[in-house]
Structure 1
Amino acid sequence: MKTLGFLSFGHWAPERGSAVRTASDALLQSIDLAVAAEDLGLDGAYFRVHHFARQLASPFPLLAAIGAKTSKIEIGTGVIDMRYENPLYMAEDAGAADLIAGGRLQLGLSRGSPEQVVDGWRHFGYQPAEGEDASDMARRHTEVFLQQLEGRGFARPSPRPMFPNPPGLLRLEPHSEGLLERIWWGSASNATAEWAAGLGMNLQSSTLKDDETGEPFHIQQARQIRAYREAWKAAGHRRDPRVSVSRSIFALTTDMDRMYFGRGGKDSDQIGMIEQTRSIFGRGYADEPDRLIDQLRGDEAIAEADTLLLTVPNMLGVDYNVHVIETILKDVAPALGWR
């Protein structure tokens, strides 16, 4: 059995063929897709966060709105770029959204990927401390955020407060108990996966990682997951961690499916350079259900993970994405033991 969710990048563009032409379309259709996915029995609705782009950005209004209109589905991010975040303000936003959702937030954080502008986080008022780079800054922001989610008081109260205070140092409010155990780190390397394990974060691994051994992507990703679990065990945490991977998977059952994806997925891994780092991009999957099932059985990282996020082509509209999800749930997941 696996936890299955969708992952949307929330693109919009006023272009021919796009069913998502404005930011309003992207936000409202994201809510509609999450509601429909819950009705189908999908376990999670996850959203990517990008800045300076025609994509979903500030996630908490969207997560809160979905939380208010659903009752069971996990609601998450994959991922929030922590170079751009004020960790204290983020702790307040996250606490509020989680309380609205009844404790269903699953927040994926990360150092982030290359953005649309140079050093975009500087425009948000952040810069690395002396001796840091942007990745160090993102991890520092993350550690502060995790500390705030513990709910401990740290701020000295005013001797003349506007309202009565509880005794002792004050914490940020609203505080959502349990959210700390539902924080994930999106890792592109084995080292940062092990760092996340040490801090007690769950692991999100996508279709991109540092090419550390030259092996096929899914084998490297499976090794990353095993290294993470060993580091978790060594850290002595008392709960079991969760691990997710994401994949583009399309079962071709209709003429429309074949029109959009009939040339197959990216049937082999790709190698490229990201910020002077050799990176490996995992293949996608698109085929008739029987052949698709055989291909997916060979993906070692999917087998290692307990959670699988299906990347969806959100610009094709809610109805088509509901079809994509439903086809996977009915024609693929049962044969693989995911359902």
Structure 2
Amino acid sequence: MKKIGFLSFGHWANSPGSQARSAADVLLQSIDLAVAAEELGADGAFFRVHHFAQQLASPFPLLAAIGAKTRTIEIGTGVIDMRYENPLYMAEDAGAADLIAGGRLQLGISRGSGEQVIDGWRHFGYAPEEGETHADLARRHTEVFYEVLRGKGFAQPNPRPMFANPPGLLRVEPHSEGLRERIWWGSGSNATAVWAAKMGMNLQTSTLKNDETGRPLHIQQAEQIQVFRDAWKEAGHTRAPRVSVSRSIFALVNQQDRMYFGRGTQSKDTIGFLDDDIQKIFGRNYAAEPDVLIEELAKDEAIAAADTLLLTVPNQLGVEYCAHVIESILTHVAPGLGWR
């Protein structure tokens, strides 16, 4: 069995081809899609976070709303850019959203990716310390956030508080027990996968990573997953870690599918650069009839190694079509691979 969810980048555009013309459209449709995915039997509803873009940004109001409207589906992010985050305020938001959802939050966090503006985190009031890189800034915020989620008191109480305090040092509230075990690090390299394992976070790996060996993406990701699991074992953690991979997969079962995705666009991995000088490998799309998809996906070593698969959905095509994309994989593809 493999958990199967969706990942939405939450784009909107005021253009004729988009069914998501505004931020309100994307937010409300994201809630509707999560509800529809739960009804279809999907396991997760995950959302990308981008700042200064016509995409989903602040995730916690959306996650809380979905948590209140659903009952079983996991709710998460892929990923929150920690360069922009106040770790303590984020712990409060995350705790509240997780309590509303009944302990179903699965938070993917990371350094983030290429941005719309230069050093956008500076506009949010954050900057690397002397000798730090912006990646170090993200990891420093992460370490504070991850420690706060332990729920241990650290703040000295006021001797004359407005309200009576419990004894001892105070923690950030609300605290949601167990949330710390449901934090994932979005890793783009083997080195950061090892760091995440040592920290005790789960692993998210997406449709791109640093091109470290020149081999196909799925092979590099399978190696990354193994490196992560080896480091996890070496660190001596007692629980089993989780690993997710993201893929763009479209089963061509009707004419609409063939019109949108039947032209074989990006059917091979590609190489390029984002916001640094490190060469990246970008994963291919999978788009074919279900029997062909089953044959192709069976060769994807990273999917085989992961316990969770996140299907990227074209959210601007609307809730009904995205639900169809998810249902097609669950119905026509997953059983043939032993995932359902």
State the TM-score, normalizing by the size of structure 1: 0.99
The letter for the 2-side match of 1:268 is K
The letter for the 1-side match of 2:170 is L
Q: Deviations over 1:98-132 (max 9, x none)?
A: 00000000000000001100000000000001110
Shift of 1:319: 0.4
- 2-side partners of 1:41 and 1:291: how far apart? 23
- 1-side partners of 2:252 and 2:57: how far apart? 31
- 1-side partners of 2:179 and 2:49: how far apart? 19
Whether the 8 Å CA contact 1:33–1:318 is kept in 2: the answer is yes
- 2-side partners of 1:297 and 1:58: how far apart? 36
- 2-side partners of 1:8 and 1:226: how far apart? 27
Within a 5 Å distance, the mapping from 1:49-198 to structure 2 comes to 49-198=49-198
- 2-side partners of 1:298 and 1:267: how far apart? 14
Report % sequence identity: 76
Q: SS of the residue aligned with 2:323?
A: helix
Whether the 8 Å CA contact 1:92–1:173 is kept in 2: the answer is yes
Shift of 1:266: 1.9
Give 2:297's aligned residue.
296
Matched, 1:199 2:236: no
Q: SS of the residue aligned with 1:277?
A: coil
Shift of 1:265: 4.7
Matched, 1:212 2:212: yes
Q: Deviations over 1:64-89 (max 9, x none)?
A: 00000000000000000000000000
Whether the 8 Å CA contact 1:11–1:55 is kept in 2: the answer is yes
Give 1:306's aligned residue.
307
Give 1:280's aligned residue.
281
- 1-side partners of 2:210 and 2:324: how far apart? 33
Whether the 8 Å CA contact 1:265–1:285 is kept in 2: the answer is no
- 1-side partners of 2:325 and 2:259: how far apart? 14
- 2-side partners of 1:5 and 1:232: how far apart? 24
Shift of 1:16: 1.1
Give 1:33's aligned residue.
33
Q: SS of the residue aligned with 1:229?
A: helix
Q: What are the ranges of 5 or more consecutive residues in structure 2 without an aligned counterpart?
A: none
- 2-side partners of 1:40 and 1:23: how far apart? 25
- 1-side partners of 2:103 and 2:181: how far apart? 11
- 2-side partners of 1:157 and 1:205: how far apart? 41
- 2-side partners of 1:255 and 1:278: how far apart? 37
The letter for the 1-side match of 2:27 is L
Q: SS of the residue aligned with 1:308?
A: strand
Give 1:16's aligned residue.
16
Give 2:330's aligned residue.
329
State the TM-score, normalizing by the size of structure 2: 0.99
The letter for the 1-side match of 2:81 is D
The letter for the 2-side match of 1:141 is H
Moved over 6 A (4+): none
Give 1:3's aligned residue.
3
The letter for the 2-side match of 1:5 is G
Higher deviation after alignment, 39-48 or 257-266: 257-266
Matched, 1:253 2:253: yes
- 1-side partners of 2:336 and 2:292: how far apart? 12
The total of aligned residue pairs comes to 339
Give the aligned CA root-mean-square deviation in angstroms.
0.5
